[in-house]
Amino acid sequence: MRRAIVEEHHILSGRYSMSISTMVRKQSPAPEGANAAVVSWVDEIAAITLPDDVVWCDGSAAEWDDLARGMVASGTLTRLNPEHRPYSFLARSDPHDVARVEDRTFICSAKEEDAGPTNNWREPGEMRTTLGRLFYGSMRGRTMYVLPFSMGPLGSPLAKLGVQVTDSPYVVASMGIMTRMGTVALGLFTDATEWVRAVHSVGAPLEDGQQDVAWPCNDTKYITHFPESREIWSFGSAYGGNALLAKKAFALRIASVIARDEGWLAEHMLIIKVTNPRGRVFHVAGAFPSACGKTNLAMMVPTIPGWTVETVGDDIAWLGIGADGRLRAINPEAGFFGVAPGTGFSTNRTAMDTIWGNTIFTNVALRDDGDVWWEGMSDKAPDHLTDWRGYSWTPASGRPAAHPNSRFTVAARQCPSISDDWEDPRGVVIDAIIFGGRRATNVPLVVEARDWEHGVYLGATISSERTAAAEGTLGELRRDPFAMAPFCGYNMADHWAHWLSIGAKLRKTGAVPRMFQVNWFRKAADGRFLWPGFGENSRVLEWMLDRVDGQVPAEESALGLVPRSSDLNLDGLDIADEDIAELFAIDKKSWLAEAESTERFFATFDGRVPASVQRQLAVLRQKLG
């Protein structure tokens, strides 16, 4: 036993012996011309995880059909009624595998201080030993699928390649939607390619003849990242960001480290294209914590005449300084993994039109007519449903029919508001950056940063009330700098320093995007939302982009620049003057308390917070008087 563990540790340090690869029962050959480094890594992983078979995915529709058919047969997927929801499926997860598990997410950088206080750090050697034990034989009785993929438009200078292996067909089908996966990506690997290695196992090996369950997983979960070697090892979960490793694990945690090293940014941001009535086009990137309405904003239908919003991305942006010296961004993903509850015809018609078919739904409720439903899809719930756990449900049941973190997985190209430049390999030019959180108090509807440094401070101090996208107590206030707290693969204070250095570079080229803070969620003393949100947020976009366009002056406040009362377009909006005043109210006492909490937060970074960010806190206190 001891010997086996030592051997496994060597395997995971890359010093393994090829002889054990003979233990894989059947190994489908790698596609002709596949990159040798990829092939040998796949062999290496198969030698550790010991699957019954290894299948290289080509990303074709035929392959997806076969997987879907297999999963319907095995009970992982239920096919929805094609009359209502063509070629769509429902998955019900294990009830203990329903969200990202942040306390089981680890950054294994060589030095603890490089992970910083917002991450769980583990010493890499120790973690490799643990993983060696867990992954050894973890795919027995299953197929290991090999998924080569591109994050970003194929061949874009801003895109990156990766390979995920997984023993979950649900993950394969989802990654096929969320990334550009298969032969097209594999063909881009050269000997010079630096690619990300991602190993995923549900951690449920099958003995000979053992009956599988619909959603295999393991109560022991590890979502681990080795930033220096650009590796991800994920064990025990098949849900969302825990398992679709291209998304949070690669495109944010590992990519943020690559970005730091290479001089660009990997951020938890939506990207939209906005056109004003004068025909001027802007691109806006926005960072919001999980489940704060990024998908809704990305697909917003403006209520003000003459404005249009088109979608480039709803969750992740990779931003770099282009050859023209301007900040350019791509959406590295190819699909949406959106939160279903709260998405409805009145709140996000575009999302509803996107998921008309060809969609995987996970943990939503099933209607008796074979379609799906969730809280917020329509005002009135159907009289009877099958809930996300498979139990009979009526409105009197007193529990949600869909899990609060239930999801839809759908290709971005199916979105009616997808922008014509969403796959521009050069990226789109970013004119404005917005930071938002879900704050019932204190934070005004909109504030413009005085300059990039102040904007970095606004990003560094984002906080939000906790939602269902990750496990934890709902409603609790959580610091979520740049909306990256669960996603930054390195020390968050260094992330702020990195943002400052990008600003300094942009300033040399003279094209520094404006930065804003927004809060759609401020409440009145009686608990009512003060602002209607959704399409009405276009009024705030109008003010911000008129500022970018030099059309309106702004007023100084202790928090930054705010609209003059006449400049926020409220035409046709039934909102009381007192509510508008409340939306912008700055309560000195509460803000001084917030400044104190910020000081305590900064102190957790052991002196690593950049002086410029500390200075902004001092300026805030001074302005509050």
Q: Where does this chain bind ligand OXD (CB under 6 A)?
A: 100, 240-241, 290, 315, 337, 469
Strands 392-393 and 385-386: antiparallel
Least distance in angstroms from the C-beta of 288 to ligand OXD? 9
Phi, psi at 178, each rounded to 5°: -85, -20
Q: According to CB under 5 A, which one of 8, 94, 314, 315 is a site residue for Mn ion?
A: 315
Q: Which is nearer to ligand OXD, 47 or 259 (CB)?
A: 259
Nearest approach in angstroms of CB 467 to ligand OXD is 8
CB of 152 to ligand OXD, least distance (A): 17
The entry of ligand OXD, Mn ion, none near residue 234 (CB within 5 to 8 angstroms by kind) is: none
CA dihedral over 571, 575, 577, 579, signed as positive or negative: negative
Closest CB 234 distance from ligand OXD, rounded Å: 15
Q: Which residues 6+ apart lie within 8 Å of 142 measured at CB? A: 51, 52, 167, 204, 205, 206
Cβ distance to ligand OXD smaller for residue 144 or 339: 339
Contacted by 97, from ligand OXD, Mn ion, none: CB < 5 to 8 Å by type: none
Q: How far is the CB of 581 from Mn ion (least distance, A)?
A: 33
* Separation CA 461–CA 485 (nearest Å): 11
Residue number with CB closer to ligand OXD (100 or 122):
100
Q: How far is the CB of 464 from ligand OXD (least distance, A)?
A: 11
Cα–Cα distance measured from residue 241 to residue 515, given in angstroms and rounded to the nearest whole number: 28
Smaller CB separation from ligand OXD, 224 or 406: 406
Q: What is the number of H-type helices and E-type strands within the chain?
A: 16, 32
- Measured from the CB of residue 522, what is the shortest distance to Mn ion in angstroms? 22
Q: Among 50-58, 79-87, 130-138, 313-321, which window interacts with Mn ion (CB under 5 A)?
A: 313-321
Q: Quote the least distance from Cβ 451 to ligand OXD, whole Å.
A: 29
Q: Taking the complex as a whole, how short is the minimal distance between the CB of residue 313 and Mn ion, in angstroms?
A: 11
Q: What is the rounded CA–CA span in Å between residue 497 and residue 491?
A: 10
Q: Given the rule CB under 5 A, which of 225-233, 307-315, 565-573, 586-594 is the region that contacts Mn ion?
A: 307-315
Q: Which stretch binds Mn ion (CB under 5 A): 111-119, 310-318, 332-340, 397-405?
A: 310-318
Tokens of 613: 């960010």
> Which CB, 168 or 290, lies closer to Mn ion?
290
User: Could you tell me which residues come within 8 angstroms of residue 519 by beta carbon, excluding any fewer than 6 positions away?
Assistant: 436, 437, 438, 439, 443, 444, 445, 446
We find the least distance from the C-beta atom of residue 232 to ligand OXD, in angstroms, to be 16
Task: Kindly state the smallest distance separating residue 419's Cβ from Mn ion, in Å.
Answer: 19
Report the residue count for the chain: 625
Tokens representing residue 573 in the block = 């909006």
**How distant is the alpha carbon of residue 515 from its chain centre?**
21
- Picked from Mn ion, ligand OXD, none, the partner binding residue 63 (CB below 5 to 8 A depending on kind) is none
CB 174, CB 360: distance < 8 Å: yes
Those residues with Cβ within 8 angstroms of residue 602's Cβ, 6 or more apart along the chain or in another chain? 609, 613, 614, 617
Compare residues 100 and 128 and give the one whose CB is closer to ligand OXD: 100
**What is the residue-wise DSSP string for 176-212?**
HHHSEESHHHHTT--TT---EEEEEE-S----TTPPP
Sheet holding 265-267, edge to edge: 265-267, 317-321, 327-330, 428-429
Cα-only R_g, the chain = 24
Residue 121 binds which of Mn ion, ligand OXD, none (CB < 5-8 A, kind-dependent): none
Of 523, 465, 518, 479, nearest in space to 300 by CA: 518
Secondary structure of residue 90 in the 3-state scheme: strand
Six-digit token pair at 511? 């094209």
Residue nearest to ligand OXD (CB): 290
| Strands in 52-169 per DSSP E | 53-56, 77-79, 89-91, 105-107, 120-121, 143-151, 160-166
Residues 6 or more apart whose Cβ sits within 8 Å of residue 211: none
Binding-site partner at residue 241 among ligand OXD, Mn ion, none, CB < 5 to 8 Å by type: ligand OXD
Residue 52 near residue 143, CB atoms below 8 Å: yes
Residue nearest to Mn ion (CB): 315
Structural tokens at position 374: 């969730």
Is 292 a known active-site residue? yes
Contacts of 356 (CB under 8 A, 6+ apart): 85, 86, 414
45 or 287: CB nearest Mn ion: 287
- Return the SS3 of 349: helix
Q: Which is nearer to ligand OXD, 269 or 530 (CB)?
A: 269
What SS3 state is found at 547? helix
Cβ closer to ligand OXD: 136 or 337? Answer: 337
Tokens of 484: 């990256």
Binding region for Mn ion (CB under 5 A) out of 123-131, 178-186, 288-296, 324-332:
288-296
Catalytic residue among 57, 292, 415, 488: 292
Exposed/middle/buried for residue 184 (C-beta within 10 Å: 0-12, 13-18, 19+): middle
The interface partner of residue 145, options being Mn ion, ligand OXD, none and the CB cut-off 5 to 8 Å by kind, is none
Of 408, 417, 401, whose CA–CA distance to 271 is shortest? Answer: 417
Residue 236 binding partner per list Mn ion, ligand OXD, none, with a CB distance cut-off of 5 to 8 Å that depends on partner kind: none
Burial zone of 476 (CB within 10 Å; 0-12 exposed, 13-18 middle, 19+ buried): exposed
List the single partner that 337 binds among ligand OXD, Mn ion, none, CB under 5 to 8 Å by kind: ligand OXD
In angstroms, the CA 26 to CA 51 distance is 8
* Smaller CB separation from ligand OXD, 409 or 519: 409
CB atoms within 10 A of CB 570: 13
Q: Is 480 in the site for Mn ion (CB under 5 A)?
A: no
Partner in contact with 240, chosen from ligand OXD, Mn ion, none, beta carbon below 5 to 8 Å by kind: ligand OXD
Nearer residue to Mn ion within complex by CB, 88 or 290: 290
Residues with a catalytic annotation lie at 292
Q: Give the interface with Mn ion as residue ranges (CB under 5 A).
A: 290, 315
